[in-house]
Structure 1
Amino acid sequence: MTDTDPFHLHPELRSVIKPAAESFFRDFDLSVLDARAAEDGDPIDWRTSDEEREAGRREWLKDSWDQDLWIFGYGSLMWDPSVEFDEVRHAHCHGYQRSFCLWVEGGRGSKEEPGLMLAIDEGGNCEGLAFRVQADKLDHETFVLFRREMIISAYRPTWLNLDTKDGPIEALGFVANHDYEGIIPDIPMHDQAKMISRAEGFLGTNFDYLSNTHDHLKLLEIEDTYVSELYAAVDNLRDTSI
């Protein structure tokens, strides 16, 4: 195994991380989501416009085009990054923690039973995976990444200082944007559990999303007390409702 192998530091991750070519997010068409939003009666400007998103991406990366880029994954990006990367490391992020604080009425929820999606928010710390993208791949890979993460303005691109066993790195991460009305950071745990236990949308149930996160954290040997406690609370609610 050589340094040119993306998994040379963590060969055990090869069987866990989905290849980019197999990812739904690699080539997905936003017009499909636009059609779904129209069916649900959402306004035509429900998402960030392609022009606005692209302008934001280029502004964010204006000083980084000639450099390799690290990307921090803390949710589904860990096992389904959808980008071609050249190295992966376990990484610790200080100052941010996982939080199901993004209120959604589509995808994994509905207007009748809203769901909650994952972000990282200020406070605490979390462990995830960092992916390095080579400079010569940066334009296309960040196009794929921003199309996925910046469909709406719920996340804020941020430079994060990460610790890895092979030294500190600076990485791009997507953190909760408190200027977005759907970010609600103070929902009590019990209410989070109730929402997640009930919510379902065209992408599936909210519980499946939480369960997938919980199971992959275990598979990656990443401990997150908050996610474990929330999963247990939702699982208990589902058991008592049967």
Structure 2
Amino acid sequence: MPNSPFSPSAPAHTEAAAERDHWVFAYGSLMWNPGFAFVERVEATLVGAHRALCIYSFHHRGTPEHPGLVLGLDSGGSCRGIAYKVAAADWPQTHVYLTEREQISGVYRETTRRVNLKDAARTNAPAVAYVANRAHPQYARGLGLEDQLHMVRRSHGLSGPNRDYVLATVDALAAMGIVDSGLSWIAHRLRDGQG
């Protein structure tokens, strides 16, 4: 499946890759907390996958006893987010950082996908993206909004409360003019103390 968002691609840290700048596609916490140096930040769209609260978090936003929920790129649709351009000289350390942050348990697969850039001078670029591994035990399949709200409300991990993660993401999306109906429903109830 060469065009699948879940197909592995050439590693993003090969010798040839070290000689060029890289793009990283952000759709969740990387939008508001990238944690790495970049030379450009451009709104972008990835086609073939959508943003979803589909990953059980046992580390950053929850524990094995009380898992949180974090975002993944799940199959189908499209996703608006941010593309960060990382200078070639910074890529090796950035890739190490992203691997440590995103690949704790293997629930995300690192792929390289073309994203459409919201930039008059360019139309698209290859970007490193982290997509949900549906075969992993931490893939959260078929949770309704009420269940998602319950898990987000009660969970806390090494990076803080799960609710803060969801609210910061909704705020980052709103700043871009994006309304994610499911996330917005959860955020509204978190802010109002409902659920």
TM-score interval for Structure 1 and Structure 2 normalised by the shorter chain? 0.7 to 0.9
Match for 1:89 among 22, 39, 42? 42
Moved more, 216-225 or 136-145: 216-225
Cα distance in 2 for partners of 1:184, 1:94 equals 22
The partner residue of 1:183 within 129, 132, 139 is 139
Q: Is 1:153 paired with 2:106?
A: yes
Alignment TM-score, normalising by the size of structure 1: 0.68
SS in 1 for 2:72: strand
CA distance in 2, matches of 1:87, 1:215: 21
* Deviation per residue, 1:12-48 (Å, 9 max, x gap): xxxxxxxxxxxxxxxxxxxxxxxxxxxxxxxxxxxxx
1:61 maps to which of 6, 13, 20: 13
State the Cα distance separating 1:171 from its structure 2 match: 0.5
Alignment partner of 1:214 out of 160, 167, 170: 170
Alignment of 1:159-238 (within 5 A): 159-166=112-119, 167-235=123-191, 238=193
* SS in structure 1 of the partner of residue 96 of structure 2: helix
CA distance in 2, matches of 1:186, 1:59: 31
| 1:208 partner letter | D
| RMSD after superposition | 2.1
**Superposition TM-score, scaled by structure 2 size:** 0.83
Cα–Cα, structure 1 residues 115 and 132, in superposed 2: closer, same or farther, change >3 Å? same
SS in structure 2 at match of 1:239 = coil
If each structure's strand is expressed as a fraction of its own residues, which one has the higher value?
2
* Total equivalences in the alignment: 182
Whole-angstrom distance in 2 between the partners of 1:173 and 1:112: 29
Letter in 1 for 2:47: H
Distance in 2 between residues matched to 1:159 and 1:231, nearest whole Å: 31
Aligned counterparts of 2:109 and 2:78: Cα–Cα separation in 1: 17
Question: Deviation digits for residues 99-146 of structure 1, max 9, x if unmatched?
Answer: 111112343223443211111111221111101112222212211221
- Partners of 1:179 and 1:65 in 2: CA distance: 31
The answer on 1:76 being equivalent to 2:32 is: no
Q: Deviations over 1:150-169 (max 9, x none)?
A: 12211100112211233111
Q: Secondary structure at the match of 1:185?
A: coil
Q: Which runs of 5+ in 2 are unaligned?
A: 1-9
The whole-number CA distance in structure 1 between the counterparts of 2:31 and 2:189 is 24
**Pairing 1:2-81 to 2, within 5 Å after superposition:** 59-62=11-14, 63-81=16-34
The answer to whether residue 75 in structure 2 is matched with residue 114 in structure 1 is: no
